[in-house]
Structure formats: structure tokens, C-alpha cells
Structure 1
């Protein structure tokens, strides 16, 4: 029997291709040795940074109007917030930092490049490994804009290939497997704990809709790949932490379309069948924990609040081989960072008060104006109702509405909202207010999984 060199080479190539296809696209370059089994692990988890580079705006009137009339993101101090968080990472040196999407305001290429540079500086200063996935704002975004004086203008965004290249050092090059149908990947920073980083976004629809599509899903091929990842993890006796931008469960009875995965039932079934019981998501900008199932088969979905909105929280996940996972939230100390770096801006030196006032004043004013415009309430009554909205919204975003539930339900403003069920002009805001009242006693800022 004779051997043909080209046929032998082709056969070898096909064998390698088949092996790689079983797990999607594998990648071994630049992958550091995993933390050895039996070692404790510390992780920071943040989301929705919505970074915008200084080069994209001049801090003029157009940019001022944009952030002041937005959803509460403190974009005017975005650089300082990210730097203060980076300083916290450098001091505490967690093993891992996870960022679950919406890295940029609207996918501006310059913002991606600037943020990746910051990530590199954080990694080098702390020794922390950073892992990212995209959010619905990050890729092929037709709303990518720059701001100059009183004008805004289009700026380049990035496609999925550019995104992967810009953030290649933050998860993609360390992946032990990549999904062939999305930017999802599997990473093994530890022999005990693996990260299933899932790309749930539908940016491929943006050109057709001329808008950054809010909805998300995981396709059937990706779900099959997830099954293979889970099987491999079980063979290696590793536990998987699942991370995605969109939510697995509804974290609000009012706001969930476009935030919870469109095919969340299929995804939940896949997760449950494969023992994926700890999920971190973002997108909604609130701190909230939801779960389903009996304790032995329960899946937790932890929606993390936005890094750049009051109260500037992030998650801390500690793993111990003996006790399992312990989760809590912490806050970025921007005031202390400002003092340490010689800042003289009074807003930064008193950032807790400044940012809370900005957030609550906006909530109060919006509610007061909506109520007053009906002409059905006195100034005092409108004030009571706006105060209820302000207090609820403040605690909703930091995951502490359970602590004020009794106070709210006994307030004059809340009773007026309850009685406003026939006022059509208040229907939407009333529904939002009622949706913020907790229906269980779960602590949204703390969780232990043994």
C-alpha cells in the first residue's frame, strides 16, 4: 500500500476539522494556564458601561442635552467613573473581571478602542483577567454619533469582526471553544470554574431596521454548542458561570419585551437540562435577582445594574471549593478616587450626593409634571405622588425596594397612585410604579449557592 502526501495531508486536515467542529471553533493562542483546582476564586461583574470616548464629543451643548435628557446615565463623568472602578480593581486584584455587554454608548469605534486601552491598563496594573461580550448597543449601531458644539453627526461603528479583534485580549483569544454562529465563547480561567460568555444580540438586523435592535435570542445551533460546552465541563469536573447581556427571566412585570430573551423558554430548558444554574445578565440597568425551580434544580438570573448609573454598583462573586459561590454587590468609590488623584471638581468630591440628586430630581420632575398636567391634583398631592416615584425608582435601581415596601405602601403618594386607576394619562406611570413593588422577600444584593 502506497501513501500519497497530498491525500495524507488532506486526511489529517479533515480529522482536525472534525474534532474542532465538535466544539465549535477552538482557540489556544495566548491562553494562560488556568488557576489550579481547589483554589479560591474572586470575580468582579459589571455591565452597561456605555463608555463614550472624549474624542467623540467636545462637551458642548449638543452633548450636554444628550446626557441630561437620557435615562440617567452619568455620561458627563464617564471617564472618571471607569477610572475609579479601574482603581478599585487594581487595589483589590480580583482574579477575573466580567463585563456583560453595552460596553459603549452607541457602538462608536473610537469609544471601543479607548475602552479596550483602559481594559489593557487595568489588566497590566492588577493582574486581573478581563472577559467581555457585546451588548445591543455595541455592534453595527446606526445610532453611533459624535457631538460638536450644538450639532451631532454620524461616526463609524464596528462590525462583529472588528469587535472581536478590538477585544481579542479580553476573552476571545483565551477561549477554549467558540460558537460558529455568534460571538459566544467558552473560557477556562480556572480548572474549577469556567465562563460561558454568550452573545445574545441581534445586531445583524440593525441595517434593516436602521436602529440598534433591543431584542435578543440564542439560536438553535448556539444552544447545541452550549450542550457540548456543558458536557465538556462535566467531563473536566468544572462548574460553569453563564454570562449574557439579555435576561433569562422577566425582572419587571412592566418592562421585559426586548430585555428578556425572545426564546427564553427554550434557553431555560437548555440551561436546566445541562446544569447551568447561575446566570449573570444586564441590559435592564437595575439590580434584581430572579429564580425558578426547586432548590436542587433552581436557576438564578442576576441582573446587574449599570456601571454608570446611580448607585454605580458592581457584583462580587467569590468561589470556594468548600462552600460554593457567594455573591454580593459593592459600589465604586468615586469620591475617594477623586481625593487620591487630586481632583478639585466639587461634583466628584461629593459624588454620592451629586449623583443621587441628579437621579432623584429627574424622577421627581418627570412624575410631578405628568401628574400636574392632568389638572386633577393639588400641588401638594402632585408632590406626594412624585415623592413616591422618586423614592421607589431610587431603590429599584439599587435593588433595595424590599427595604422600603412598608414605608411606600403607607405613604400618601402611593395611596393616590392606587386610586388613580381610572386616570388614563397616568396609566403608564402608575403601572411602572406598581411594577417596582417587590412581590417576594429575596435580597437582590446577596446570594449564596452551595
Structure 2
């Protein structure tokens, strides 16, 4: 072998080492078989970049018009969540859609920066999928003074490019007709990350389409993914934004997949027994058994609404999966960062009060418009609705069911059905009352 040839080989190996290293920046090695695995699951962050608002009147009005989302504190919540991850160092972080408020490109880019910092500083692998708000959103807006203005959204290709380091470049298989992909962070566990959104319809409707479905071609791709995993005795955790099951008797159209029965059949046939989803903004666990096979679905509460909650999923090769919930410790993060802000230093109390007041105010206003109730009756009904809603989002309504049923407000809401103007509020109230005492914050699957 000549010296010149040796130099060429050395140079070739050098280039190959750079390429290999470059592909694995920020990524840990695949976790070996027989090892435990820890995963954090967060959803519906609805991130809005500071660069497209000035904290003015239009933005303030927007932040108060929602369902209790704490948009004005989203940066603090995400930063504090990153702090929790740095302390606990889970192997995996899963984000199941609605990453941004309304698909603003600026918000996607800024959130990706934050995720990159988390991944690089902790070694935690991050996997994302889009939600119905994230792509080709006609409602993408910025806020300046008293005005809203249009700001660019992203298309599917741009979404994949922005989040290439958070699942897409690492995928061992990709669906050709959606942004769905299969990831293998462990030799024992794979993540089936499903894009269930219908953003291709947004330009025609002029709105972000709420509904979701999984196409037949994607279902066929899922079958192929599962066949290989079953041959190798690998467990699969399914992640999607929309829901497989109805998690509320009232809030399901546009939330549960339009073709949920077809999807459920495919999942059952292919032993996909654990589904993680979001979209509905409540903490809830539903399951259904057919032909001796049970499928569990866990919807995680929105990260930017009380109780600022995320899921914790632990896999043990001997005992299986254990799910629990935890809350972002904004208080400790603020103290560690030396932030002297009374709200942030007691954020859990503040976020609970924010949601409770938001619910109370809207219900009280609606009751006042009817002109049917005394001041005491309006207060009782609004207080009962507020208490129930706070626990509904947290997944703890079972613990207060008896107190609710015995309350004055409950009795008034039952009678409110006689008033057509209040039927929508009454039906929402009744839908939150659990039919049983099952827990929504913990689960074990063998």
C-alpha cells in the first residue's frame, strides 16, 4: 500500500467520521434491550413568539378571550418545563401537537430553538407531531398596539424542516402521505408518531380545520410498521393529536377522529394498546376491550392551562408501562433564576385562580343575560361550574363528585335545562360529572 493511498484512506475515514458524528449531534445512542425507559408527554403548548406581539391591548385582549390558556405566560412555562427536564433528565420528551397558537412561523422557529437547547443540555430525545393549529393556518396573527396583523404560517414541508432534529431525521420509517413517522429510541420500544390533521383543507375553509382522520394509505403503513415490530417482540407507543375515543359526551365532534372506528380496528388487530393524545385539553383516560384486547388512551391536559401538567410514562421490560402525571414547577424555576415576580413565585396558585375566575366570569355573564336568576343563584351556579371545571381539566372530578351533587349550584343547573338559552352550559356542566370514580392520572399496563 503506497503512502499516497494510505493518505486517501485516512482522509476518507475522517470525512465519514464527521458525517456520522454530524448525524448524531444532540442524540443519545439507542437504548439497549432490557433497559428501562422514561418519557415525558406534553401537549397543546400553543406557543406564541415574543417577536410577533408587543404586549399591547390587542394581545392582552386575546390572552383573556380563550378557554383559560395562559398565553401571556407561555415563555415562562416552557422555560420552567425545560428546567424540570434538566433536573430529572427523562430519556424522551413527546410533544403531541398544537405546538403553536395558530401556526405562526415565528412561533415554530422560536420553539424549535428552545427544544434544541433542552435536547443539547440534557441528552433527552424530543419527538414532535403537528396539531390542527400548526400548519397552513389562515388564523396566524401577530399583535401590535390595538391591532392584529397577518403573519406567515408554515406548510407541511417547512414544519418537517423546522423540527427535523425532533423526530423526522431520526425516523426509521416515514409515511409518504402525511407527517407520520416511526422512531426507535429503544430496542424494546418504538414510537408511532401519527399526523392526524387535515390542514390541506385550511386554504379552502379559511379556518384551521379542527377535525382529524387517518387515511387508508397511512393505515396500511401502520400495519407494516407493526408487523416488523411484532416479529421482533418490540412494544409500540402510539402518539397522535386527535383522540381515538370520546373523552366527553359533549366535546367529541372535531376532537375524536372522524374514522375512529376504522382506526380502532387497525390498532386492535396490530396490538397497539397504548395511545397518547391531546387536543381536548383535559386529563382523561379511556379504555375499551373487544375480542380479549383492551386499548388504553390517555389525553394529557394542555401544558399552558392549570394545573400546568404533563404525563410521565415509564417502561420496565419486566413489569410494562406505568403512567402518572406531574406539574411544571414554575415556582422553583423562578426562584432558581432569581426572578422576583410574585406571580411566578406562586404560579400554581395563580394559575388555578386564573382558570377559576375565567370560568366564573363567563358563566356569571351568561346567567345575567337571561335575567332569570337572583344574585345568590348566579353566584352559586358560577361557583359550582368553576370548581367542577378546574378539577375537570386536572382529571380529578371524581374526588369532588359528592360535594358537587350536594351543592345548591348543582340543583340549579339541573333545572336550567328548562331554559333553552342555557342548554349548552347545562350540557357542558353535566358532561364534566364523572359516571364512576376511575382515576385519570395513573395507569399500569403489563
Residue matched to 2:310: 314
Match of 1:71 among 64, 67, 70: 67
Please give the alpha-carbon distance, in whole angstroms, between the structure 2 residues aligned to 1:64 and 1:286. Answer: 24
Matches within 5 A, 1:229-240: 229-240=225-236
1:336 and 2:332 correspond: yes
Deviations 1:194-219 (A, max 9, x none): 00000000000000001100000000
Deviations 1:265-321 (A, max 9, x none): 000000000000000000011001111015951101101100111110000000001
Deviations 1:170-216 (A, max 9, x none): 00011000000100000000011000000000000000001100000
Residue matched to 1:272: 268
Distance 1:106 1:327, change over 3 A: same
Please give the alpha-carbon distance, in whole angstroms, between the structure 2 residues aligned to 1:447 and 1:441. Answer: 14
Distance 1:419 1:401, change over 3 A: same
Q: What secondary structure, in the 3-state scheme, does the structure 2 residue paired with 1:350 have?
A: helix
Matches within 5 A, 1:98-137: 98-137=94-133
Q: What secondary structure, in the 3-state scheme, does the structure 1 residue paired with 2:357 have?
A: helix
RMSD, matched Cα: 1.3
Residue 372 of structure 1 deviates from its aligned partner by 2.3
Residue matched to 2:3: none
Match of 1:252 among 248, 263, 275: 248
Residue matched to 1:285: 281
Residue matched to 2:168: 172
Residue matched to 2:428: 432
Instruction: Report if the CA contact (8 A) 1:244-1:279 is conserved.
Output: yes
After alignment, is 367-376 or 179-188 more displaced? 367-376
Aligned residues: 423
Q: What secondary structure, in the 3-state scheme, does the structure 2 residue paired with 1:300 have?
A: strand
Q: What secondary structure, in the 3-state scheme, does the structure 1 residue paired with 2:370 have?
A: coil
Residue 351 of structure 1 deviates from its aligned partner by 1.1
Please give the alpha-carbon distance, in whole angstroms, between the structure 1 residues aligned to 2:182 and 2:32. Answer: 18
Deviations 1:147-179 (A, max 9, x none): 111111000110000000000000001100000
Please give the alpha-carbon distance, in whole angstroms, between the structure 1 residues aligned to 2:438 and 2:253. Answer: 23
Residue matched to 2:141: 145
Please give the alpha-carbon distance, in whole angstroms, between the structure 2 residues aligned to 1:147 and 1:189. Answer: 39
Please give the alpha-carbon distance, in whole angstroms, between the structure 2 residues aligned to 1:36 and 1:305. Answer: 31
Residue 345 of structure 1 deviates from its aligned partner by 1.6
How does the TM-score come out when normalised to structure 1?
Answer: 0.92
Instruction: Report if the CA contact (8 A) 1:32-1:174 is conserved.
Output: no
Please give the alpha-carbon distance, in whole angstroms, between the structure 2 residues aligned to 1:295 and 1:271. Answer: 13
How does the TM-score come out when normalised to structure 2?
Answer: 0.93
Matches within 5 A, 1:7-46: 30=24, 33-46=29-42
Please give the alpha-carbon distance, in whole angstroms, between the structure 2 residues aligned to 1:57 and 1:366. Answer: 26
Residue matched to 1:55: 51
Match of 1:442 among 415, 438, 445: 438
Please give the alpha-carbon distance, in whole angstroms, between the structure 1 residues aligned to 2:37 and 2:290. Answer: 27
Match of 1:363 among 322, 341, 359: 359
Deviations 1:338-385 (A, max 9, x none): 111011121111212221111101111111122222222211111111
Please give the alpha-carbon distance, in whole angstroms, between the structure 2 residues aligned to 1:124 and 1:229. Answer: 29
Superposed structure 1 runs of 4+ greater than 3 Å apart: 28-33
Please give the alpha-carbon distance, in whole angstroms, between the structure 2 residues aligned to 1:421 and 1:86. Answer: 45
Instruction: Report if the CA contact (8 A) 1:393-1:436 is conserved.
Output: yes
After alignment, is 366-375 or 76-85 more displaced? 366-375
